[in-house]
Amino acid sequence: MKFIDLFAGVGGFHKALHELGHECVFASELDPTLRKLYFDNWGIDAKGDIKRIVDNEIDSIPPHDILCGGFPCQPFSKAGKQLGRDDNRGTLFDEIVKILKYRRPKYFILENVPFIAKHDNELTWNYMKSELESVGYVVDYEIYSPQDFGIPQHRKRIFIVGSLNGLDHFSFTDIDNQKTSLIDIHQFIEEDPKQFKALPKANQECIKLWQKFINQIPKGTKLPGFPIWGMEFGATYPFEKSYPLKLSAKKLGEYKGNFGYLLKGLTKKEQKTKLPSYATVEKAFPNWKRSYIRQSREFYNDNKKYVEDVVKEIAKFPSQSWQKLEWNVGDNKRKITDYILQFRASGLRVKKVDFFPSLVCTNTQIPIIGWQQRYITRSEGMKLQSLEGVVLPENDNAAFKALGNAVNTKIVKIIAEKLLEEQIPIQSMNKQIQYNVVTKTFVEPTHTTV
């Protein structure tokens, strides 16, 4: 069958459907670097702005049987502002619907972040489902992560499928039956990689300092499972029933800011620079934030005599994110470099050696092999996205951005294989609906009886 690949990236959907024997007849990708790579990988000249194409030359999109698209997830991601369809990128879903109306492919497979199903109290999903059903598709979805299918990456995504002929032949239960708990992360880690990016000295020093902090904690004291926010060590500013910026400079001067910094005698503007960035808000703190602040302060007060000196060194880090630690390995060995690491805005994250954290498009969050003091390699990243053999950008940052935006090929292939099993003929509507580029509406043709 023929398929089109929208928001194509490096071609995660393409690789899956190509391996199943299907033919790509059209692709679109906004990023010019990725368009070049798409041609290098698949020999297809991917077009640019899909919105412009749909508005002005929708007829250039050829007839096809399957529409694939991992439409932009930032408007719906919990890591973003969650603007949804208020974000221009969120309205790109509407371009998908327009293509479905015009070309009437038998099937579609879409991918996005799982939060899209709950965004705006499910109003976003209800709108999307209604739009897809209005075109004539029976729609279903499920949430999967590569770890469900033997790949050690925690990366949940929603996969939405649709068929003009119903989904009696397809069930996500069949996909669930292919899940496995047998995962060996070491099969995805190169023991002696030829090319790799070593962890910068500054990051290594950050790890060493937090290791010193951990070493000072008595063995009988449990390391916290909650995020340790170092800025709260010695801080006394109000957070339970009030918040710093609600107070006058004189009143706030009665308290202490980051690492116990005295706020007395400072202007309000100066006081703001001596507070954690998450505390400089003009509304009450949510419960989870109050909990982390409270727990961090209590932990410091209980262990101050052991860690006071090393905390003074932690306070010198130029980035507040480096002043936070997420110890996610419980009561296991207290050696940071024995684990999978990640530098995040939320802190230095220490994870068990079972799954990699999700690959994201932010190059500062590339997972780290702690015991090798290096970031994961490009080839390791490709394995985690089931994109082995695909050409990536030469620049590592661009390569991992591409991987972070990619769809996992193995999951798509498993779903597509089942969805496309039964190919019941469906009357083509490819030329029966006309698109008026002036009014930007679809028009049913008038039929005359001869």
Q: Does residue 46 contact residue 39 with C-beta atoms inside 8 Å?
A: yes
Q: Which residues contact 281 (CB under 8 A, 6 or more apart)?
A: 243, 245
- Is 73 noted as a catalytic residue in this protein? yes
Distance separating the N- and C-terminal Cα atoms of the chain? 34
Q: In whole angstroms, what is the distance from residue 212 CA to residue 307 CA? A: 9
Q: Which residues contact 160 (CB under 8 A, 6 or more apart)?
A: 108, 109, 110, 111, 112, 128, 132, 139, 140, 141
Tokens of residue 122, six digits: 């499910």
| Residues making up the chain, counted from first to last | 450
- Which position among 68, 73, 206, 361 bears the catalytic label? 73
Give the number of other Cβ atoms within 10 Å of residue 269's Cβ. Answer: 8
Amino acid at 272: K
Tokens of residue 195, six digits: 């090319």
Q: Which residues are catalytic?
A: 73
